[in-house]
Amino acid sequence: MAPGNFSRVTEFILLGLSDTKELQVLFFTFFFLAYAMVLLGNLLIIVTVRTDPKLSSPMYFLLCNLSFIDICCTSVTSPRMLVDLLSQRKAIAFEHCIAQLFFLHFVGASEMFLLTVMAYDRYTAICKPLHYTAIMSRQACWVLVSACWAGGFLHSIVQTLLTIQLPFCGPNTIDNYFCDVPPVIRLACTDIYVTEWLMASNSGLISLVCFLVLVTSYMFILATIRVRFTEGHWKALSTCASHVMVVTLFFVPCIFIYLRPFSTFPSDKLICVIYTVFSPVMNPLIYTLRNNEMKASMQRLWKRC
């Protein structure tokens, strides 16, 4: 359609997870509890790490940043979803939709990069223990975390610019509970073949490359542990097992959603729930219940309070 021959869409209608009132009430209760767990669990991790001098290692510094990103990530989608579950008309302004899309990819890509850095931290601690303090110094940790945020910002800017340059003039119904690149660009009044492949190569390749780097680092870790197994390596292996659980919950759904042409599958909305809700919920559980140092520090914090 030629530019100027259309009236631009000013809002989108989100279909949500279900149009059945009983299910909406059930979903509201479930996701409200999940959101509360994300906030309380990750805030508890941040406060514990920040107040306990014994948790000053790079691993806990990175974990503290992961908890902050998880709070940001779920706060981009969950509050809006909770409001819409109790609303008759689930409309979102075009500008708000683009803002949600931007911040979702900003914090989402930052989390991917941070999980990769955390895997590198465990690889260095296990495979190069004599050089660990020099490689993962506090200054190096700050540089790596800043690079994660910068990488997430650049990724999100590309996705957002490719989206807002498209003309939106026809249907405005999004079959999801939040604004994301795949469902939004399918509503454009133009051929999006090139755009969708550019976006897929951006988001999808980032997800896949980070995942492959993570898998490679774990392979080196397992090979090192198998050669020289000690009690300390068993503790490190337990920590890595927790990390693998987080990675699986987060990366596999992202790869499925973004590393393909943006066609619709009935399971897409449920898969989105995994990395926007379940993954942030599982992080505080995995990193506290499976970590004796964190549990001991939380007990000391509770006694002080």
User: Which three-class secondary structure string do you get for 242-284?
Assistant: HHHHHHHHHHHHHHHHHCCCCCCCCCHHHHHHHHHHHHHHHHH
Least confident of 19-28, 54-63, 153-162, 226-235: 226-235
User: Residue 261: pLDDT band by 50, 70, 90 thresholds?
Assistant: low
| Average pLDDT rounded to a whole number, residues 131-158 | 93
Domains and CATH numbers, the chain: 11-299 (1.20.1070.10)
Structure tokens of 237?
């292996």
Q: In this model, does residue 42 exceed pLDDT 70? A: yes
Q: What is the residue-wise DSSP string for 67-96?
A: HHHHHHHHHHHHHHHHHHHT-SS-EEEHHH
**Six token digits for residue 98:** 């683009």
pLDDT in tens, 194-237: 888 888 888 888 899 999 998 888 888 877 777 665 555 566 66
User: What mean pLDDT is reported for the chain?
Assistant: 85
- Quick: pLDDT tens for 116-141: 999 899 889 888 888 898 899 999 99
Residue 1 has pLDDT above 60, yes or no: no
Strands 91-93 and 11-14: antiparallel
7-38 pLDDT, tens digit per residue, is 578 889 998 888 788 888 999 999 999 999 99
Task: Please give the backbone phi and psi of residue 193, each rounded to the nearest 5 degrees, phi first.
Answer: -60, -50
Position with higher pLDDT, 243 vs 215: 215
Predicted confidence at residue 230, as pLDDT, reads 56
Identify the pLDDT of residue 37.
92
The per-residue pLDDT for 300 is 83
Q: What is the pLDDT of residue 38?
A: 92
For the CA atoms of 57, 61, 63, 69, the dihedral, rounded to the nearest 10 degrees, stands at -170
Of the two residues 62 and 229, the one the predictor is more confident about is: 62
- Residue 115 in this model has a pLDDT that exceeds 60: yes
Task: Label residue 43 by pLDDT band (50, 70, 90).
Answer: very high
